[in-house]
Structures are given as C-alpha cells and as structure tokens.
C-alpha cells in the first residue's frame, strides 16, 4: 500500500523514512500535536515544517530571514541567518553539515550555499542562501515559509 501526500501523489520512500525517524522529535510544535505527524481522514500524513543542515536532524534555532525579489517577480533570494545554531552542538555526533533543507508536507527545498561564521576561532553563526529562479519557485518557497512561520511564531516585517 502506497502512502500518498496532500496532493494525491505517492510519498517517496525517503520521505516515509524521514517521517519515521523524526517521529519522536518535537522542537517547536504545539504540545498537543504529534511530533512530526498528524493524522486526519483528509490528510493521512502531515509533515511539520522544519529546517535541517544534517538530514534527519531538525535545526532548533529560529533564523532571521531576509528576502529579495526582482521587480518583475521572476526570481528572488532568501538569506537565512542562524545565530548559535544547534547544528554546532550535534555535528560532532552526527557529522558535517551536508546542505540546507526546508522540509514540509509538499517535499523538500534545498541548497548547498551554506557558510559558517567564526568568532575567535569558535563557530558563531550559519548563513544559508536559497535562490528562486521562477515565479513557481517563489510561490513554493512562500508556502513553506507560511507553514514554518505558523509553526514557529514568526512574523513578516516589511522594511
């Protein structure tokens, strides 16, 4: 029996594996909600939005996010800055940062444009850049950010 996502498409085995491995991890989700899964007749599986630097390990630190968008709306860039991210605590046990992964019920958005900032030889921050090359990429990213913001109590401030 195949597990299907919210749009009726089969969920890849890697996502099912991710659902199983993160089931007991509840970094920012409402206390009444299951760790990573929610069940209802219309949505048999719902993956809570998360950000990861090491696949399978949710980042606990909430980022500062800066967005830019071209005037014609055809592309944009999101820059995430994490001060003292938890990945520094777990990287010794779990391995190195492998990329930047934004995971939600629609799938995974990823980037390899990740850099660490050091102060006095100690890791202090991580900056990740996600580039959106089409209006469709922008819309998908904004759906992720809406879910992630709701799950983590973030607000959008226009400057």
Quickly state the pLDDT bin for 91 (edges 50, 70, 90).
low
**Mean pLDDT taken over the chain:** 76
Quickly state the pLDDT bin for 46 (edges 50, 70, 90).
low
What local confidence, expressed as pLDDT, does residue 47 receive?
Answer: 73
Q: In sequence order, what DSSP letters do the residues of 47-64 get, joined into one string?
A: PPPEEEEETTEE--SPPE
CA distance 66 to 152: 16
Partners of 141 in beta bridges: none
Which SS3 state, helix, strand or coil, does residue 121 take?
coil
What local confidence, expressed as pLDDT, does residue 135 receive?
Answer: 93
CA distance 49 to 92: 25
Distance of CA 36 to the CA centre of its chain: 13
Q: Note the pLDDT tens digit of each residue in 98-118.
A: 899 999 999 999 999 999 999
What local confidence, expressed as pLDDT, does residue 96 receive?
Answer: 83
Q: For domain 48-152, which CATH number applies: 2.40.30.220, 2.40.50.320, 3.30.300.30, 1.20.1050.10?
A: 2.40.30.220
Which SS3 state, helix, strand or coil, does residue 109 take?
strand
Q: Give the residue extent of every domain in the chain.
A: 48-152
Q: Note the pLDDT tens digit of each residue in 52-87.
A: 999 999 999 999 999 999 998 889 999 999 999 999
Q: Do 67 and 78 form a contact (C-beta atoms < 8 A)?
A: yes
Q: In this model, does residue 142 exceed pLDDT 70?
A: yes
Q: In this model, does residue 25 exceed pLDDT 60?
A: no
User: Quick one: 68 exposed, middle or buried, by C-beta within 10 A (0-12, 13-18, 19+)?
Assistant: exposed
């Amino acid at each position: 029996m195949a597990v299907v996502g919210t749009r009726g498409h089969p969920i890849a085995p890697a996502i099912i594996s991710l659902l199983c491995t993160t089931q007991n991890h509840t970094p920012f989700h409402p206390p009444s909600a299951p760790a990573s899964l929610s069940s209802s007749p219309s949505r048999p599986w719902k993956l809570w939005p998360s950000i990861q630097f090491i696949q399978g390990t949710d980042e606990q630190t909430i980022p500062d996010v800066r967005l830019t968008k071209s005037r014609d709306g055809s592309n944009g860039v999101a820059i995430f800055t994490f001060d003292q991210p938890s990945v520094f605590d777990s990287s010794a046990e779990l391995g190195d940062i492998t990329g930047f992964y934004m995971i939600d019920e629609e799938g995974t958005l990823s980037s390899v444009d990740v850099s660490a900032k050091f102060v006095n030889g100690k890791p202090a921050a991580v900056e990740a850049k996600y580039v959106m090359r089409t209006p469709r990429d922008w819309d998908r990213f904004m759906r992720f950010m809406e879910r992630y913001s709701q799950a983590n109590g973030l607000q959008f401030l226009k400057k």
